[in-house]
Every structure is written in C-alpha cells, then in structure tokens.
Amino acid sequence: MKEPSMNWRFWLFWVLAFFSFPIAGLLANLVGSVTTPVRAIFAGAIAGATLGLVQWLILKSRLPLLSIWWAVSMSIGMAVGLAIGTVLLGSETAGNELLWRGAITGLCIGITQYIVLRQIVPLPQSAIWIGVVAVGWALGWFVTRAAGVDLSPKWSVFGVSGALTFQLLTGLALYLMLRSAKAIR
C-alpha cells in the first residue's frame, strides 16, 4: 500500500487552498446573512461542500484512499455546527460568541471529518484532527476580526487572513499526523 509522502507541492496547494474560503463565503452568502439556524444550515452546507471539495482534491494526492465523503462530511459538519452555534449563541460578531460559534462549528466539522479520516489514519492521530479543526476554526475567526474585517454581513466563513491561519495550522497538524502515523490501512 502506498504510504503518504509529504512533498512541497502538497503543502503549497494545501496552504493556497485558503483562497477557497472567500469563494465559499460568497457562494454561501447567496442564501443571505447567517442570522437564523435555517440560513446557517444552508450556508454551512454550501460553504462546507465547497471547502471540503477543495481539501479532498488536495488530500487525495497524499491519501489515495480518502473518499469524496470528506467533502460531504465537511458540508454536513459545517451545516450542523453553524446551526447549533447560531441557536445557542445568536449571530453577533463583536464578542466572544463569535469565537465560541467558531469552536462549535469547527468541532462539528472535525467530528464528521474524523469519521472519514479514521478509516485510513490510525488512532490517536485521526482523533487529534477533531481538536485541531475546532481550535483552528475559532482561531480563524479571531484572526479575521483582529485584522479588521467587517463582519457585519454575518459571513459563514472567516476572511482570507483567518483562512490562511487555518490552513497553516491544519497543514502543520496534517504533517505531524501523517508523519507519525506508521500504519496506514
């Protein structure tokens, strides 16, 4: 079985995938601002499918057994997480609620992606992905807000600065996970 190799092109494409965040945000914004759980579900599904597809296209070069369910799982996780976060915390962007909504959304994405990832990356590496995505999603919102991005449109995803931060963090985690995962099924 082919073991995942880590070359510079993979990392370049993984980091450049941050450009998919504004595209996903614009597509998701077609349903309107994320102000209600229903809009959160639709916006999350659209943005999650877009981001998940880009990630899957990049990841399958290193994890050939990774199925398209990666994109589906991100769509489901983001839809559910964004809706739960909106129900529990509303849609304000000024306070800590934004970061908690980000953590909830990232947690749901991490869990659904873990379900797909665990089939090809052993424990504990695959389980670590849940926490990395949860922290990364909250950090992405923090960096976006700190960069002064106008969050009043109530976007479904963070801006380019947060996306770059998220991709760098998850890229580092992937590198460490896949490097230490000895037995890829």
Q: What is the pLDDT of residues 22-72, one digit of tens each?
A: 999 999 999 999 999 999 999 999 999 999 999 999 999 888 999 999 999
Residue type at 25? Answer: G
Is residue 117 included in any domain, yes or no?
Answer: yes
> Residue 69 domain-assigned?
yes
Q: What is the pTM of this model?
A: 0.92
In a domain, 23, yes or no: yes
Task: Please state, in angstroms and rounded to a whole number, the distance separating the CA atoms of residues 106 and 130.
Answer: 8
The CA angle 111-113-118, to the nearest 5 degrees, is 95
- For residue 104, tell me if it sits in a domain: yes
pLDDT (average), residues 134-138: 98
Look at the chain and report how many structural domains it folds into: 1
Number of H helices, E strands in the chain: 7, 0
Mean pLDDT of 129-150: 96
Cβ-contact 47, 24 below 8 angstroms: yes
Task: Please report where in the chains the tokens 């950090």 appear, as a residue.
Answer: 139
Write out the two tokens for 157.
């995803």
Predicted local confidence at residue 40, as pLDDT: 97
Q: How many Å apart are CA 10 and CA 98, to the nearest integer?
A: 31
The mean of the pLDDT values for the chain is 91
Q: Quick check: is 185 in a domain? A: no
**For residues 78 and 107, what is the distance between their CA atoms, to the nearest angstrom?**
9
Report if residue 3 sits inside a domain: no
Start-to-end Cα distance in the chain: 8
Residue 167 is assigned to a structural domain of this protein = yes
